[in-house]
């Protein structure tokens, strides 16, 4: 018997996740799957990187406590195509299937696996296009003579040494001068 982890999410506090959960439970029952656990994010935006219910589901998947992840819709689960593909790749590596009830995606079937492979290819294509645009933008900025990256901090090694001689810690010196601790350390070595 397959163990299923059910995940539901609603964006606002006045919405009720039970609407999703009832149908997901019924589906699991029809498949003779054991509902190992239900994970719910109530009043949490799908754009948030950290969601308690989703994080707990992923921990359960990694601990191999579920064989199937059952969700109502892709937008209830993933914040972006790349997030979805990343999760699907992790599920595949762990031997966990994904079923999306309202969109008829079911990786327990060959057609469902094909759908996910196509989705993965589209996401990879999207990542490559973004990378190409960023590379072209950086090249254009350099050609125009723009300096890229963080501006260099103008701090003298003598000033750092003076503050150190006054008994300040590396962290305190960095905070005082607006630079990182590693910069302070490097300047102290330079000061001798």
**Nearest of 70, 61, 77, 91 to residue 27 by alpha carbon:** 70
Write out the catalytic residue numbers. Answer: 11
Q: Residue 24 burial (CB < 10 Å; 0-12/13-18/19+)?
A: buried
Alpha-carbon distance of 180 to 150, in angstroms, equals: 12
Alpha-carbon distance of 103 to 178, in angstroms, equals: 52
Q: Tokens in use for 115? A: 């759908």
Alpha-carbon distance of 109 to 58, in angstroms, equals: 22
Alpha-carbon distance of 51 to 76, in angstroms, equals: 12
- Give the list of residues 6+ apart from residue 158 with CB closer than 8 angstroms, or none: 191
**Nearest of 50, 128, 111, 41 to residue 76 by alpha carbon:** 41
């Amino acid at each position: 018997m397959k163990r299923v982890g059910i995940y539901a999410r609603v964006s606002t506090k006045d919405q009720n996740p039970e609407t999703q959960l009832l149908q997901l439970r019924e589906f699991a029952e029809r498949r003779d799957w054991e509902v190992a656990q239900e994970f719910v994010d109530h009043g949490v935006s799908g754009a948030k990187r950290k969601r308690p219910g989703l994080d707990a589901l992923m921990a359960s998947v990694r601990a191999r406590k579920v064989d199937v992840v059952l969700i109502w819709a892709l937008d209830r689960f993933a914040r972006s195509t790349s997030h979805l593909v990343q999760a699907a790749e992790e599920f595949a590596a762990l031997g966990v299937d994904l079923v999306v009830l309202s969109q008829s995606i079911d990786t327990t079937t060959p057609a469902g696996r094909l759908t996910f492979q196509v989705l993965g290819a589209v996401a990879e294509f999207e990542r490559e296009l973004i990378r190409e645009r960023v590379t072209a933008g950086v090249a254009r900025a350099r050609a125009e003579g723009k300096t890229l990256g963080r501006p260099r901090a103008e701090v003298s090694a003598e000033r750092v040494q003076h503050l150190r001689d006054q008994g300040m810690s590396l962290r305190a010196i960095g905070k005082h001068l607006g630079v990182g601790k590693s910069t302070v350390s490097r300047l102290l070595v330079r000061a001798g």
